Copies of this chain bind each other. A is one copy, B any other.
Amino acid sequence: MVVVDQLWQKHQPLLQQACAALQARGHWTPYPEIPSGKLYGASAREEGEAAYQALPGSHFSLLGPAPQGVDGVEVSPYTGSLGISYDLYAAEDLVDVAKQGMPAWRDAGPQQRAAVCLEILERLNKRSFEIGHATMHTTGQGFAMAFQAGGPHAQDRGLEAVAAAWQAMSVVPATSHWHKPQGKHDPLVMDKRYHIVPRGVALVVACSTFPTWNTYPGVFASLVTGNPVIIKPHAQAVLPVAITVQVCQQVLAEAGFDPRLVTMAAEGAEVGIAQTLATHPDVKLIDYTGGNAFGDWLSEHATQARLYKEQAGVNTVLIDSVASMKRTAQNLAFSVSLYSGQMCTTPQAILIPRSGVSTDEGTLSYEQVCEYLCNTVRKFLSDPERAAGVLGAIPNPATIQRLQQASALGKVLLASEAHGIPGYEGALYRTPLILSVEGHDPVWQQEQFGPVSFLVAVEDSQEGLALIAETVASKGAITLGVYSTDEALLDQAEAVAVEQGVALSCNLDGAVFVNQAAAFSDFHATGNNPAANASLTDPAFVAGRFAVVQSRRHVAAREE
């Protein structure tokens, strides 16, 4: 297959760089995160926006089995109903077409599959502006974030998965020559072949908030190891997935493979296809991001498949002592505001000792730290343009309702405010609600998905760490932030992090935020607490997606 060989020639250097980056875990990415014409081409911005603008009100056509209907319910929190319709399929038919392309994809081997995956990622990167707008209007993220998280950062995670899977597959040689001495007798000699084979059909259940970032790792890890992939998007965030599947299908077809190796299982008003797919006997891999109800259901019912899941958690920050109260507060103000607290990495509870916090502005009481944080958040969000860009718009009415009811959960230190988003008539951004509660009040240990932050009064940092350990163990967490000028306390926090399996960020007071995880360097989740049973991207995330089948044949002495 000439085309695929060309793709391999083209992309092999990038794969090697990605593997080296994964081993070094420093900063690295081939996909620029800045939405700049200099990096993406002078006309990329306008072309991307125009491509997006052409979509609302149309039918988005993808390849798949025979459609059983069409539907589409996406509503942009900026511009209203998108009016985009998608084909609906029967679960059984989706599995059938997935299996049709599997043998040729399997037999193509890791190198050809990697080449195709890298080409898909390159084409996705070129459509980053269009994907950015699609992500903005389905998730509600501000455009800058939607571009980054939906485009290059998601592509980073996809490439990381390809590289990690490549490393895992490379442990197994294609052939071996087995030569066992037999003393005076002729040696026993065998030639052996080792085939990397897929597990079966892979299902990826996407979430509404990060339809590409949380989806690409599973999609590319499964695809590069030989498994066909069915992506089930959230009904509110289909478009970024649809564009992704379109690119996958185009590249697969050009490379001579069945384009329906990647399909989309859209839902409309009627839901339930995820359950049917997840328990299909031929579905052997499931990636899931979302709430605990379906996550727990999958663990219980989808026992025929290997399940990689990320669900709810309660992320915490402890402020023991700080080098700069101002920079600390600015950093946290951004962290709690970004995307209206709807990140799985957003800190929900900030624990502050009543014994006081040592700072460069003197020792501050619990109340003073609370006031400092609230004032910083207020000031940070005082400019509507910036506030709208950072907070975005919340598409899910349930999140808004939760926010409205949350005022009753503690003492309101900063009320949430709704303001119009400049340029989008009728669209609103909502500033975070900040509550003060006591450490022993379990209310802050429940996930409040959305712009709700708890400032939690604890006796001292030791009680804070103990409460954090308890919360991570029982509710799960993906991030933990600790501020301290005391090395011994940071070491203690690291021991808690290791014991509870949560990533620790210490003294973030610059332009790195606890909710950010950089591909090729940061692991996202650990799999060792209730928030997730998998990690982006550790060896366990990729190794289970393929099996090795060997064959062996005698080599006669004369042939040796």
Chain A residues within 8 Å of B, Cβ to Cβ: 22-27, 103, 106-107, 164, 167-168, 171-173, 176-182, 188, 190, 192-195, 197, 199, 299-300, 303, 490, 494, 497-499, 501-512, 518, 521-523, 526-528, 535, 538-540, 542-544, 546-554
Contact = CB atoms under 8 A, between A and B. Distances in A.
28 contacts: A25-B173, A25-B176, A25-B178, A25-B194, A26-B178, A26-B179, A27-B181, A106-B498, A164-B171, A168-B539, A172-B538, A176-B521, A188-B510, A195-B498, A197-B501, A197-B528, A303-B303, A497-B549, A497-B551, A505-B552, A505-B553, A506-B551, A512-B552, A522-B550, A523-B548, A535-B548, A540-B547, A543-B543
Contact of A549 (B107, B502, B521): B502
Contacts of A197: 498, 501, 526, 528
Contact of A548 (B106, B194, B526, B544): B526
B554 A171 contact: no
Contacts of A511: 182, 188
A380 to B, nearest CB: 19
A188 B331 CA distance: 14
A180 B503 CA distance: 20
A168 B167 CA distance: 10
Contacts of A548: 523, 526, 535, 538
Given A103-B499, A171-B539, A522-B550, A512 B190 contact: yes
Nearest to A553: B506
Contact of A528 (B190, B494, B507, B547): B547
A34 to B, nearest CB: 9
Given A25-B192, A539-B171, A540-B544, A551 B494 contact: yes
A551 B106 CA distance: 38
A553 B485 CA distance: 12
Rank and list the top 5 A-B pairs by shortest CB-CB distance, nearest first.
Answer: A25-B176, A543-B543, A539-B543, A504-B551, A27-B180
Nearest to A494: B551
A194 B23 CA distance: 12
Most chain B CB neighbours (cut-off 10 Å) among A176, A299, A547: A547
A516 to B, nearest CB: 10
Given A168-B543, A538-B172, A552 B23 contact: no
Copies in the complex: 2
Contact of A507 (B103, B171, B199, B553): B553
A551 B107 CA distance: 41
A528 B509 CA distance: 49
A283 to B, nearest CB: 14
A550 B494 CA distance: 9
A389 B509 CA distance: 72
Contact of A544 (B176, B490, B512, B544): B544
A22 B173 CA distance: 9
A192 B106 CA distance: 37
Nearest to A165: B539
A552 to B, nearest CB: 5
Given A23-B173, A172-B538, A550 B504 contact: yes
Given A23-B173, A25-B176, A25-B194, A547 B551 contact: no
Given A168-B539, A197-B528, 13 more contacts: A24-B173, A25-B173, A25-B178, A27-B181, A103-B499, A106-B498, A176-B521, A188-B511, A299-B303, A506-B552, A512-B554, A535-B547, A539-B543
Contacts of A494: 193, 551
B521 A192 contact: yes
A178 B550 contact: no
Contact of A550 (B23, B24, B523): B523
Given A190-B512, A543-B539, A171 B550 contact: no
Contacts of A540: 543-544, 546-547
Nearest to A198: B528
A527 B285 CA distance: 13
Nearest to A182: B511
